[in-house]
Amino acid sequence: MNPETDTINEALRLDGNAVAGDLQMLMGFDVTLLQAQCGHCQNEGVFASLVAYVRGPGIVLRCPTCEGLVLQIVKTPTSIIVNLEGMARSVMYLPMS
Amino acid sequence: MERIQWQLARVKSIVQETPRVKTFTLTLPNWIPHLPGQHYDLRLTAEDGYQAQRSYSIASPPEQTGEIDLTVELIDDGEVSAYLHEGVAPGDQLEVRGPIGGYFVWQDAMKHVPLLLVAGGSGVVPLMAMLRHRAKIGATNPTRLLFSVRSAEEAIYRDELEEMARHDAQFDLLLTFTRDVPVDWAGYHRRIDRLMLTEVLHRFETQPHCFICGPTLLVEQVANTLAELGLSADTIRTERFGPTGT
Ligand SMILES: Cc1cc2nc3c(=O)[nH]c(=O)nc-3n(C[C@H](O)[C@H](O)[C@H](O)COP(=O)(O)OP(=O)(O)OC[C@H]3O[C@@H](n4cnc5c(N)ncnc54)[C@H](O)[C@@H]3O)c2cc1C
Ligand SMILES: [Zn+2]
């Protein structure tokens, strides 16, 4: 634990809104309103409220409750790899008609 | 939701809002109507292929068609904001994609519910789009903006916000200065805290929808405090900007 890097990491922390553009290009729809359930602590919340770190080689999304890894995206020159291991499930509620 | 693609926007004009903040009006070949609160991603590409990508909120309301306003704060040693401030002139092209995001948006369906907006520094940008659109559609829901800035000269859109508050009895502007205060200042002079949020909430007769935006630590602290003060989680929407000013 290094207090200085911890503070920098805290200040650099973003959320699901910040990665919505990349994911929309990838999936073809807006993910921010998905209800995502964390595979570690089972807490559920909107995708936009996941905490995001985007300054590494890829994108890391963590659960705001338990900090468990929910989703990881790695970009290589030829591909984009999405690791969804930490997501128990995600639900898109359809607008009521 | 329409498919978004990278497109080349042209810089139509640049306005200096404060000593550290400029608004860039971009003309888009493929303009898509946005919801207030949405953002665009902007991508710079160096000659060697290196790319830097950042998000910028749309400041303009969707009524301003064919173009978007992006308001950008200059961050010391900031890669993208420094380039935009120092290396971009009207007529230049910039690569953008959007509009993005369906969560941090103020929908017309919310126009009858009281609205609490909380901003730190450039976090006011998406909230400004909400306020401008709200004025355009003539909404009369009680609305308050609690806006934390370092000093009076750093308060983005201050003239327009004060003008809005003068003309709209349902809109209050509550500024708090965290560093220097004007001599005759009678308002808040500290960081946003629990007491301040309690006082602001007391001005509402019924529970407002809340949108909080700005530097990450401010957003998290305000959201946690509002939840502790009894607002239900599904009425609080947040957007973290990362390590920006204030
Ligand atoms: C959804 C969204 C909307 C946004 N809307 C706006 C807006 O409307 N207006 C606006 O001005 N900004 C907005 N931002 C912030 C914007 O995207 C940029 O983060 C901001 O402009 C800074 O980018 P930069 O390249 O200039 O600075 P950067 O080069 O990213 O640096 C920013 C600061 O962080 C420090 N830093 C960067 N990386 C590290 C690291 N790895 N370790 C330690 N310190 C580091 C730098 O020293 C600097 O002080 C938004 C962000 C999001 C997520
Ligand atoms: Zn969890």
Q: Is residue A78 part of a domain?
A: yes
Alpha-carbon gap, residue B97 to A54, rounded angstroms: 18
CA distance A48 to chain B (A): 7
CATH class of the B7-100 domain in this structure: mainly beta
Its domain, for residue A69, covers: 3-83
- Provide the β-strand partners of residue B101: none
Task: Please name the residues in contact with A10: beta carbons below 8 A apart, sequence gap of 6 or more.
Answer: B216, B217
Q: Which of residues 9 through 38 in chain B touch A, CB cutoff 8 A?
A: none
Q: Is residue A45 part of a domain?
A: yes
Q: Which amino acid is at B215?
A: P
**Element (DSSP H or E) covering residue B238:** strand B236-240
Tokens of residue B231, six digits: 């607002």
Alpha-carbon gap, residue A34 to B102, rounded angstroms: 10
Among B240, B241, B244, B246, the residue to mutate for chain A (most A Cβ within 10 A)? B240
Do A25 and B239 make contact, defined as CB atoms within 8 angstroms? no
| Total structural domains within chain A | 1
CATH of segment(s) B108-241: 3.40.50.80
Do A33 and B102 make contact, defined as CB atoms within 8 angstroms? yes
pLDDT digits (tens, 9 = 90+) for A8-53: 778 889 999 999 999 998 888 999 999 999 999 999 999 999 999 9
Block residue for tokens 């919801």? B35
Do A17 and B39 make contact, defined as CB atoms within 8 angstroms? yes
Block residue for tokens 């003239």? B159
The length of chain B, given as a count of residues? 246
Kindly list the protein residues whose Cβ atom lies closer than 6 A to any atom of ligand 1.
Answer: A 8, 12, 14, 17-18, 55; B 39, 54-57, 71-73, 75-82, 122, 125, 239, 241-244
Pairing of strands B7-18, B21-27: antiparallel
Query: Where are the strands (E) in B67-136, listed by range?
Result: 67-73, 93-100, 115-120
Q: Is residue A22 part of a domain?
A: yes
Alpha-carbon gap, residue A24 to B4, rounded angstroms: 8
Q: Which residue positions in chain B have pLDDT lower than 50?
A: none
CA distance A74 to chain B (A): 15
Q: Which of residues 45 through 64 in chain A touch B, CB cutoff 8 A?
A: 46-49
Tokens of residue B82, six digits: 């420094």
CA distance B168 to chain A (A): 31
Q: Is residue A93 part of a domain?
A: no
- Provide the β-strand partners of residue B170: none
Q: Is residue A88 part of a domain?
A: no
pLDDT level of residue A97 (50, 70, 90 thresholds): very low
Do B239 and A15 make contact, defined as CB atoms within 8 angstroms? yes
**Element (DSSP H or E) covering residue B207:** none
Alpha-carbon gap, residue B149 to B165, rounded angstroms: 18
Q: Which of residues 146 through 185 in chain B touch A, CB cutoff 8 A?
A: none
pLDDT of residue B224: 97
- Report yes or no: A21 at the B interface, CB cutoff 8 Å: yes
Do A21 and B55 make contact, defined as CB atoms within 8 angstroms? yes
Among A9, A15, A17, the residue to mutate for chain B (most B Cβ within 10 A)? A17
Q: How far is the CA of B54 from the centre of ligand 1 (A)?
A: 7
Q: Is residue A25 part of a domain?
A: yes
Q: What pTM was computed for the model?
A: 0.95
Q: Is residue B148 a contact partner of residue B178, using CB atoms and an 8 Å limit?
A: yes
Q: Report residue A15: phi and psi, to 5°.
A: -140, -175
- Report yes or no: A65 at the B interface, CB cutoff 8 Å: no
Alpha-carbon gap, residue B168 to B174, rounded angstroms: 14
Decide: residue A2, CB within 10 A, 0-12 exposed, 13-18 middle, 19+ buried: exposed
Tokens of residue B51, six digits: 């790319």
Domain boundaries, chain B: 7-100, 108-241
ipTM score here?
Answer: 0.94
Q: Report residue B54: phi and psi, to 5°.
A: -140, 160
Do A24 and B100 make contact, defined as CB atoms within 8 angstroms? yes
Task: Please report which ligand is nearest the Cα atom of B242.
Answer: 1
Which among A21, A46, A47 has the least Cβ separation from residue B100? A21
Q: Is residue B91 a contact partner of residue B10, using CB atoms and an 8 Å limit?
A: yes
CA distance A85 to chain B (A): 24
Do A24 and B55 make contact, defined as CB atoms within 8 angstroms? no
Residues B177, B182, B183, B185: is their CA dihedral positive or negative? negative
Residue A66's alpha-carbon distances to A14, A43, B54, B73, B103, in angstroms, are 16, 9, 27, 33, 22
Tokens of residue B83, six digits: 């380039």
Alpha-carbon gap, residue A47 to A44, rounded angstroms: 9
